[in-house]
Amino acid sequence: MAISGYLDILSVLSRGLYYTISILIVSAIIGYIIAFVAGFGRISRFSFIRRFTMIYVEFFRGTSLIVQLFWFYYVLPLPNFWAGTLAIGLNYGAYMSEIVRGSILAVPKGQTEASIALNMSNWQRMRLVILPQALRMMLPEFGNYLIQMVKATSLVSLIGLTDITYQAMVYRASNIPQSIEVFVILLIVYFLIALPLIALTRWLERMSSKGVARE
Amino acid sequence: MNMIREWDWSTVIDAFPLIFKAMWITLGMTIACYAFALVFGLVWTFIRRVRIKPLQRLISFIMEFIRTTPPLVQLYFIYYAWPLVPYVGVTLDPITTSILGLGIHFSTYISEIYRSGIESVDKGQWEAATALNFSTRQKWTKIILPQAIPPTIPMLGNYLIIMFKEIPLTAAVGVGGMLLTAQKYGAKFYEYMEPLTLVALFFLLLSYPSSILVQKLEQKMNRRFDKKPGGSNNGKEVTAS
Amino acid sequence: MEPIVKYEDVHKSFGDLEVLKGIDLNIAPAEKVALIGPSGSGKTTIIRLLMTLEKPTSGYIEVDGDPLWHKEVNGKLVPADEKHLREVRGKIGMVFQHFNLFPHMTILKNCTVAPINVLGMDKEEAEQRAVEMLEKVGLADKLEAYPSQLSGGQKQRVAMARALVMRPKVMLFDEVTSALDPELVGEVLEVIREIAEEGEMAMILVTHEMDFARDVADRVVFLDNGVIAEQGKPKDILENPQSERLQSFLERFRTSSSS
């Protein structure tokens, strides 16, 4: 195939890049906020909060992301941008809340005891001692989930949002002999979007091995 | 924006048998894709143990590439582009496409589990096996694998559940599981709420008890061995959309 | 008498670090040799080379008249293959610092898995022999227990039974008491002493237990910095050390072990 053919494909895909990236950013923001809210909810002092967040988490982990996406789009019905970002954000938020909860609980008990011995308030203990250590454990996992979210953004093409996968499908429909090139380039574009996130995650993994108390 | 209309039990009764029937297709696809992933994961694991640096690097790269690109696009590639590939290309039906696509995608995760299992076996076990003069084959079958496999079972179980939740993706290439059935029902009668909610409930009802089972299994495994099995992802689950 | 084990100018490096700098050592059949020396002196490496857990960088090792890391092809020595290694390795057994019992097998199974699969013994005979050895180490009542249910001292005794079942001609002991709680050391040393008294097997013991070395060993070899610095009868070596290095090593030992 001539170079111009590849350039055609790239320019078509670039039209979808705006949606792919903005869906990723908005879902990630929703996901991280939900992760902390639900993560803290799971270890709340109040049993009704614990129970409520558990139901949320189990519901979103137990049903499939793509089913949730369709439900938001066809049943509620939300505009496709918000159906996409909410489904991805709420779904990944549920998964990541387990990371938040797990990391906070994984900080050794001795750290809590030392903070009590230093007469810190509950809030001080969380802010100064527990969270800084828990965050180091969370961040690499958050990075991993961000890479997963890049892949998940492709699902929004199924509800008619014109992301890069959607654009590729449209281009392919009228250029069937170029199917191989279209999808190979599309896969490479996704890989290139994920590449900096992979590097970031590896870096976070290295950083996280420092400065956490071990039992 | 339309308002949510009222829940209609007669639609539920109407759609239920269709979705229940489609559930068996979804479950069958889960087993088929999972079995393929288990076997193909083994292939990756063994290729990566071959001590040729460039080969190891190439395989790692390919696995990383498969892992970080959307399975949806991989399905499209197999379904739409593979038939056009010179010499080896053949047209594949939706079911074969899905087994290959999701199977290969998840095999890259499964392979990591196998690897973590093998690496969790203490170096001393290899040494003791050498000291007792076992052959290479016996070392694997008698000493290493019996220890490497059990701690990975809960993780493998997790991936079975993850695979189950990923199967609706195959609707995109036309496999008639629960999601596609609900979608078609919705398009026909313009009633999406009941069938899609039913699908969600089916997923919840099947996956939630399974994940509790896997958790129980994991606790049991942790107790069974002297050491803590390495490589466990502590109940963390990943998705692969 | 022909030695059962022979080291000739054996060198071993890990990367840039040379751990063994030319070892010459002969061990007679049924001889008990204790290897002592500061940590990093290479004493563990010497026996790991013999068990084929590490490969020598250069030099020659012979076991019972056969080259270990080489084999003879048309009168020339070429590097050994796995088949040759397995033949020669059958004459050697080893007990590890960290026991390395198989956690997925019962005590009995730990002791029978190798005779059945490696020696091709039938199950009954292997079990009979395993029980005999487990009796010798005082654990015949634990046949169906798993390693995780045993104390460190018991684990180490099982490890000895497991090695004994294979009837090696040379038995290697790699700091077998150093991972044990102090109160469990005695029971393990007692078993080794009994095995030594039976006398038929050559034994190489890497140890920090000087009193034990004096009791059990026919010869004590002091390693320092990758070479054999001094060797001789236990009494001479331990009570009348010649070199300054050995004197200071023993001195340090007395002060640290009496604390």
pLDDT in tens, C137-155: 999 999 999 999 999 999 9
Coil/strand/helix, residue B4:
coil
Query: From the list B72, B76, B236, which residue is nearest A98 (CB)?
Result: B236
Chain C: touching chains (3 or more CB pairs < 8 Å): B
Query: From the list C98, C103, C114, which residue is nearest B134 (CB)?
Result: C114
Q: Which of A67, A103, A141, A187 to mutate to test the interface with B (most CBs of B within 10 A)?
A: A67
Query: From the list B68, B196, B238, which residue is nearest A71 (CB)?
Result: B196
Q: Facing residues of C93 across strands? A: C171
Per-residue pLDDT of chain B (241 residues; tens, 9 = 90+): 455 677 888 888 888 999 999 999 999 999 999 999 999 999 999 899 888 999 999 999 999 999 999 999 999 999 999 999 999 989 999 999 999 999 999 999 999 999 999 999 999 999 999 999 999 999 999 999 999 988 899 899 999 999 999 999 999 999 989 999 999 998 888 888 899 999 999 999 999 999 999 888 888 877 765 444 333 343 344 554 5
Chain A: touching chains (3 or more CB pairs < 8 Å): B
Taking the Cβ of residue A44 and every Cβ of chain B, the question of whether any pair is shorter than 8 Å is answered with: no
Summarised one tens digit per residue, pLDDT across range C101-130 is: 998 889 999 999 999 998 999 999 999 999
| Cross-chain Cβ contact A187/B74 below 8 Å | yes
In C, which residues are within 8 Å of B130 by CB distance?
51-53, 89
| Averaged pLDDT for residues C25-53 | 93
Domains of chain A, start order: 3-208 (1.10.3720.10)
ipTM, interface predicted TM-score of the complex = 0.91
DSSP per-residue letters across chain C? ---SEEEEEEEEEETTEEEEEEEEEEE-TT-EEEEE--TTSSHHHHHHHHTTSS--SEEEEEETTEESSEEEETTEEEE--HHHHHHHHTTEEEE-TT----TTS-HHHHHHHHHHHTS---HHHHHHHHHHHHHHTT-GGGTT--GGGS-HHHHHHHHHHHHHHT--SEEEEESTTTTS-HHHHHHHHHHHHHHHHH--SEEEEE-S-HHHHHHH-SEEEEEETTEEEEEE-HHHHHHS--SHHHHHHHHHHHHHHH-
Percentage of chain C beyond pLDDT 70 is 98
pLDDT at A61 over 90: yes
In B, which residues are within 8 Å of A76 by CB distance?
4
**Residue A212's pLDDT band (cuts 50, 70, 90):** low
**Residue A29's pLDDT band (cuts 50, 70, 90):** very high
In B, which residues are within 8 Å of C100 by CB distance?
122, 124-125, 127-128
| Cross-chain Cβ contact B69/A187 below 8 Å | yes
Query: H/E/C letters for each residue in B64-133?
Result: HHHHHCCHHHHHHHHHHHHHHCCCCCCCCCHHHHHHHHHHHHHHHHHHHHHHHHHHCCCHHHHHHHHHCC
| Cross-chain Cβ contact B4/A75 below 8 Å | yes
| Averaged pLDDT for residues C160-182 | 93
Summarised one tens digit per residue, pLDDT across range C49-74 is: 999 999 999 999 999 999 999 988 88
Q: How near does any CA of chain C get to the CA of B232, in Å?
A: 18
pLDDT at A30 over 90: yes
Calculate Rg over the CA atoms of chain A: 21
In C, which residues are within 8 Å of B133 by CB distance?
86, 89-90, 114, 118, 166
Task: For domain B14-224, give the fold.
Answer: MetI-like fold (1.10.3720)
pLDDT at C172 over 60: yes
| Cross-chain Cβ contact A62/B183 below 8 Å | no
pLDDT (0 to 100) of residue A8: 87
Q: How near does any CA of chain B get to the CA of C214, in Å?
A: 27
User: Is B touching A (3+ C-beta pairs, cut-off 8 A)?
Assistant: yes
Query: Cβ(C161)–Cβ(C183) under 8 Å?
Result: no
Taking the Cβ of residue C45 and every Cβ of chain B, the question of whether any pair is shorter than 8 Å is answered with: no
| Cross-chain Cβ contact C147/B226 below 8 Å | yes
**Residue C256's pLDDT band (cuts 50, 70, 90):** low
Q: How near does any CA of chain B get to the CA of A153, in Å?
A: 8
In C, which residues are within 8 Å of B128 by CB distance?
94, 96, 100-102
In C, minimum Cα distance to B147 occurs at: C104
Summarised one tens digit per residue, pLDDT across range A73-108 is: 998 889 999 999 999 999 999 999 999 999 999 988
In B, which residues are within 8 Å of C103 by CB distance?
147, 225-227
Domain boundaries, chain B: 14-224
| Cross-chain Cβ contact A194/B68 below 8 Å | yes
| Averaged pLDDT for residues C6-34 | 95
| Averaged pLDDT for residues C222-237 | 93
Structure tokens at C99: 């026991």
Taking the Cβ of residue A122 and every Cβ of chain B, the question of whether any pair is shorter than 8 Å is answered with: no
